[in-house]
Amino acid sequence: MTTASIRPPLARPRRAVLGGVAAGLAIHLRVPVTGVRVVLVCLTVAGGAGALFYIWLWALVPLEPQAASTVAPVWRRAPVAIVLVALASASVITELAGLTGNSDPVVGPILVFTILAAGGAVAWSLTMDVADPHRSQASATAVRSAATFLLLLGGIAALLSHAQGFDAVLGLLAIVVAVAVLVAPRVVALWSNLMSERAARVRQEQRAEIAAHLHDSVLQTLALIQTRAGASTEVARIARAQERELRDWLFAEDQPARSDLPTELREIAAAIELDFAVRIEVVTVGETTQLATTAVVGAAREAMLNAARHAGGDVAVYVETTASSIDVFVRDRGVGVDMASLPDDRLGIRESIVGRMSRAGGAATVTAGAGVRGTEVHLHLARDHD
């Protein structure tokens, strides 16, 4: 009696012949699975209790829990759909034999059986076999076309034999079911498409609503903070960074970030703004289809860093991409630099900007700004036409 307490729980295994009921029962009761099957079949033949018991257990006994790391789909070894198709074809053959024979044919019950078997085959293959990796797409298609063909054959034969009353109705029904079987997968696909589209639209609308609200409230407040705090104060910089982040989130249209030159320079500018008391305005003109050029990005980054470090305040970055060349201007409002008087150990401009650009086949010029003060770095690179 102690064994009863450690009896394995009643559960249906995932690798089953049909529903896993017999195997589950056998494990639970610790008897050979063949014995369980024999009892079930005997009970089914003697009055149908076995089948009812089987269906009852199938519905109520849970599936074996799956291991945490693996996703184990249910694998049914019995080719139920194919067996049902075979039954349907047998019944259609019986019907045709009866119709061509001389004796009074029995059409009604045979047609009902055909409709149930063929419809059941399609239903099984659409619901149970879809999740099963051991059943291919091709076999589902084969089951469906076979079912359609059998239903049409049975229905048309019944109608052509001048069936009367109920038989004629059944014949028509067979044809209707055949058509339904044919279009069922498309209808199912259409329906699930419609559902997911609706869900996506609802999400989109919600997002737009949130965006509108945030635009009207938070962005305005952030702008006001920047106005009140003065452009290059700590508070204004934080507000500006926050505003940029929020704006990116609000107006990014789910597109993957492209790593072209303007995008990269904007990202660099955003990063520098966080570290220095500086406001960098990046203006880009022209279409860029090519990826960012490492030398230009590196040199521009160095120029922006120099401007942020030595000048601060407002820095203007202008990027112009034409069919033949890329030009980047970085302009600050600092006291300016004199290239000739720079000590040799100041590698920033000489090496990281001028040297880098000339190695890449471009040019960099550093000029004192047009006014009394300020420095402008100009990077120029001809574009390859390959």
Dump the DSSP string for 257-300. PP--HHHHHHHHHHHHHHHSSEEEEEEEES---SPPPHHHHHHH
| Angle between helix 165-216 and helix 108-127 axes, rounded to 10 deg | 20
State phi, psi for 283 to the nearest 5 degrees. -115, 130
How far is it, in rounded angstroms, from Cα 15 to Cα 35?
19
DSSP 370: S
Q: Measured from the CB of residue 348, what is the shortest distance to other proteins in angstroms? A: 21
How far is it, in rounded angstroms, from Cα 306 to Cα 349?
8
Q: Measured from the CB of residue 250, what is the shortest distance to other proteins in angstroms? A: 10
Among 182, 329, 350, 360, binds other proteins (CB under 8 A): 329
Q: Which is nearer to other proteins, 144 or 240 (CB)?
A: 240
Q: Measured from the CB of residue 338, what is the shortest distance to other proteins in angstroms? A: 19
Binding window for other proteins (CB under 8 A); candidates: 98-106, 129-137, 316-324, 341-349 = 316-324
Among 141, 227, 294, 358, binds other proteins (CB under 8 A): 227
Whether the Cβ atoms of residue 375 and residue 334 lie closer than 8 Å to each other: yes
Q: Measured from the CB of residue 331, what is the shortest distance to other proteins in angstroms? A: 5
Q: Taking CB under 8 A as the criterion, which residues in 193-222 touch other proteins?
A: 215-216, 219-221
CA angle 239, 241, 243 (to 5 degrees): 65
How far is it, in rounded angstroms, from Cα 368 to Cα 332?
10
| x-marked contacts with other proteins along 250-289 as a string, rule CB under 8 A | -------------------------------x-xxxx---
Q: Measured from the CB of residue 209, what is the shortest distance to other proteins in angstroms? A: 15
H/E run at residue 157: helix 137-160
Among 148, 293, 306, 321, binds other proteins (CB under 8 A): 321
| x-marked contacts with other proteins along 230-249 as a string, rule CB under 8 A | xx--------x--x------
Q: Taking CB under 8 A as the criterion, which residues in 354-383 touch other proteins?
A: 369-371, 376
Torsion sign (Cα): 105, 109, 115, 117: negative
Among 53, 58, 149, 318, binds other proteins (CB under 8 A): 318
Q: Which residues contact 130 (CB under 8 A, 6 or more apart)?
A: 140
| Angle between helix 108-127 and helix 137-160 axes, rounded to 10 deg | 160
Torsion sign (Cα): 141, 144, 147, 149: negative
Q: Measured from the CB of residue 369, what is the shortest distance to other proteins in angstroms? A: 7
Q: Which is nearer to other proteins, 24 or 336 (CB)?
A: 336
Q: Which residues contact 290 (CB under 8 A, 6 or more apart)?
A: 260, 383
State phi, psi for 316 to the nearest 5 degrees. -110, 130
Q: Which is nearer to other proteins, 43 or 229 (CB)?
A: 229
Q: Which is nearer to other proteins, 167 or 332 (CB)?
A: 332
Report how many residues bind other proteins under the rule CB under 8 A.
33
Q: Which is nearer to other proteins, 129 or 376 (CB)?
A: 376
Q: Which is nearer to other proteins, 70 or 324 (CB)?
A: 324
Binding window for other proteins (CB under 8 A); candidates: 39-47, 102-110, 116-124, 323-331 = 323-331
Q: Which residues contact 170 (CB under 8 A, 6 or more apart)?
A: 107, 108, 111, 112, 115, 155, 158, 163
Can you give the binding site for other proteins, defined by CB under 8 A?
215-216, 219-221, 223-224, 226-228, 230-231, 240, 243, 281, 283-286, 314-316, 318, 320-323, 329, 331, 369-371, 376
